[in-house]
Structure 1
Amino acid sequence: MTASYAEVIGDPIAQSKSPIVHGFWLERLGRAGRYERCHVVPAALEDYFAARRADPDWRGCNVTLPHKQAVLPLLDRVDPAAARIGAVNTVVHENGLLIGHNSDAPGFLEPLRPWLAERHLLRTARIFGTGGAARAIAHALWDEGFTLIVAARDETKARALADEFSTRDCHAASLAHFAAPLAFDWGDMVGRLDLVINATSLGMTGQPPLSLDFDHVPPGAIVYDAVYSPLETPLLAEARRRGHPVIDGLAMLIGQARSAFTRFFGIEPPTDPASDAALRTLLVA
C-alpha cells in the first residue's frame, strides 16, 4: 500500500519551504505520508490537475505564485471564503473532486492575534501588492475593522482590489507614491493599530527590494513581510533598526500550513511551543 501524499505547486517552486513544514509535522506525529514540491508552469496547470485527479493517493496541494487565481476555473467547488477572496491556495482531493480553500487569510492573522484582541479607535493597514496573498490579506483585515490602503506598481490593479470594499474606508495608490519622501505630522497615535504589509515578491531572493520611504510608516506600526526567503528582508531589517515591531514571512507560512495539513492528512499538527521552536529553527537553518 502506498502512502498518501500532498505537494505544493508553483512557478518557480524551488524556494518553497512548505515541504519542510509538513514533513516536520508528519515526522513529529509519527504519521505516514509525504509532502513534496512540484514545478508547474502556467501552460501545464490544467494537465497537472487532470493527472492528479486520477491518483487515489494524492490528497491535494498548496498553490503558490502564479496560480492562486488561475486555478479557480479548474476546480469542482470553491469554499465560500475563498470565492469571496477570489484566490485559492489549498486544493483538497475529496472523492475525485477538487475543492478549493484559502488558508492565507487565517494564516496571516495568526501572529497578529495578540494585537487584534485589543480595542482600538482606528485600525489602518497599508498593503503592498494585489496578487492572491494580497487579496486574502485585504479581506482578512477588512473583516477585522481595518481601513485599507492598497498599493501596486499598476495603480489600476490597486483600484480594482480597493473597489471591492467601501470607497470610504479603502483607498488605492501606486507603489511609487510610497517610495517618495512624505512631510506629514502623524499627531496623536494613542488608540491606533497600524500595519504595513509587503505582499509582493519584492525583497525575495533574486528580486529587487521594496522601495519604501519610512516617512510613510506611522510611528509604532507593525511591519509584516510575507516574503520568507530571505527571512530578514531589507524591509524588515530597516523596520527593526527603526524600532518597529516586525513579523516575518515564516509566521504566515506556518499559520496557513496548519489548516492545509489538517485537510490533507486528517489530523491537527502539533502546536506546543517546543514543536514551534524546533520547526522555526529547522526553517532558518
Structure 2
Amino acid sequence: MTTVAGVAGQPIAHSLSPLIHRAWIAAAGLDAVYEPHGPADADAFAALVARGRAGALRGLNVTAPFKAQALALADDATAVARTCGSANLLLFTGGRIQADSTDGAGLMAALAGQAPDLDVTGRSVVVLGAGGAARAAVAALRAAGADVAVLNRTRARAEALAADLGATVAGPAALETAVLVINALSVPPAIDLSRLPDRAVVMDMTYRPLVTPFLAAARARGLTTVDGLAMLIGQARPSFRALFGIEPPDSDVRRLALATLGEGDR
C-alpha cells in the first residue's frame, strides 16, 4: 500500500521539502508519495489535518503559518514540540494525531556539519528574533547546555521567550562573548558583526539566497558560517524516518537543492 505524506504551508511553491523527500523515496525504492499542500487559511489546514486523521495521510511536515495550529490540533505531542510551542511534523495513526518538532534537531545537525569545531556547552550564544523559529533554536541550544541570550526588536517578546525557555535577554555586551549568533528573523538583522570574537560562528536560518547578506558579511570578517539549507536537510532526516520508517538513504540531496536554488555546488 502506498504511503502518502507531504508538507503543508502557505505559500508552499518555494518549499524544497518535496525535492528532498522524493529523492530519498526514489533512492530507497519506496512505494510512497510526498506532496505539497497549500491550504488557503486555518480552516483549510484543519480540513487537511482531518483527512490525515481519517487515514488518507501517514503524516505531514508543517511550515509557516500553520506550525502553532498543528500543535493545537494534535492529540499528543512530544516534549520538544510542547517546549517549542509549535510542530513541524504531524503523524497520523489509528485516528490520532502525534505532533513533533524536528527544527531543533535540524539546527544542531547543521552546526555539527558546517561548524564541527563548535562546542556550545556552557558558552554564550545569541539568538536573533523571538518568533517560532527562535523558540526552536533556543530550546535546542538550551538542551545542548548553551547559555542563550535572545535579542529582539520588541523586548517584551524576548523577555517572554527567555522566561519560558530558561534563556536571558541579550544586553549590550552579548555579542562580545558569543561563540555563536543565529539569525531566526525573516529579514537581515542590523547588528555589528565586528563586535564578535574572531572564532565566532554565524548562522542564518534563511536559505533563499543560500548566502544571505548576513552570512556574506560574516564571511568577509573571516568567520565560520552555517546556512539555512543545512538546517532544512537536517530537520528533514528525522521527519523522513518518522514518516517512512527507515533512515534516509545515502543520496546527495544538498546538491539537488543547490541546483534548484541556482546556487551551484557549495
TM-score (norm 1): 0.82
Kindly indicate whether residue 223 of structure 2 is the aligned counterpart of residue 223 of structure 1: no
- State the 1:83 CA deviation: 1.4
The amino acid that maps onto 2:214 is L
CA contact (8 A) 1:123 1:146 kept: yes
Please tell me whether the aligned partners of residues 20 and 253 of structure 2 are also in contact (alpha carbons under 8 angstroms).
no
SS of alignment partner, residue 124 of structure 2: strand
Could you tell me which of 196, 214, 220 is aligned with 2:181? Answer: 196
The count of corresponding residues between Structure 1 and Structure 2 is 260
Write the distance in 2 (CA, Å) between the matches of 1:93 and 1:45. Answer: 15
Identify if the C-alpha distance between structure 1 residues 100 and 122 changes in structure 2 by more than 3 Å, giving closer, same or farther: closer
Q: Which residue identity does 2:236 align to in structure 1? A: A
Q: d(CA) in 2 for partners of 1:262 and 1:239?
A: 34
Preserved contact between residue 15 and residue 229 of structure 1 (Cα < 8 Å): no
Q: CA deviation at 1:140?
A: 0.9
Measure the CA separation in 2 of the matches of 1:100 and 1:76: 8
| Partner Cα separation in structure 2 for residue 75 and residue 194 of structure 1 | 37
Encode CA deviations 1:4-48: one digit per residue, 9 max, x unaligned.
221111122222111111011111111121212111223433222
Indicate yes or no: 2:97 matched with 1:98.
Answer: yes
Percent sequence identity is 37
Mind listing any 5+ residue stretches in structure 2 that lack a counterpart?
Answer: none
Deviation of 1:185 after TM superposition, in Å, equals: 10
For 1:171, the equivalent position in structure 2 comes to: 168
Contact persistence 1:91–1:100 (CA under 8 A): yes
Compare 36-45 and 156-165 and name the one that shifted more. Answer: 36-45
Q: What letter corresponds to residue 132 of structure 1 in structure 2?
A: G
How many Å apart are 1:57 and its aligned residue? 4.0
What are the superposed Cα offsets for residues 69-94 of structure 1, whole Å, 9 maximum, x if unpaired? 22222111111221122221100111
Q: Distance in 1 between matches of 2:159 and 2:229?
A: 29
Q: Would the alpha carbon gap of residues 120 and 201 (structure 1) be closer, same or farther in structure 2, given more than 3 Å must change?
A: closer
**Deviation digits for residues 235-270 of structure 1, max 9, x if unmatched?**
111111111100101111001000111111111102
Q: Answer yes or no: is the 8 Å Cα contact 1:107–1:254 preserved in 2.
A: yes
Give the corresponding residue for 2:133.
133
The code of the aligned residue for 1:38 comes to H
RMSD over aligned CA atoms reads 2.6
Helix, strand or coil at the partner of 1:69: helix
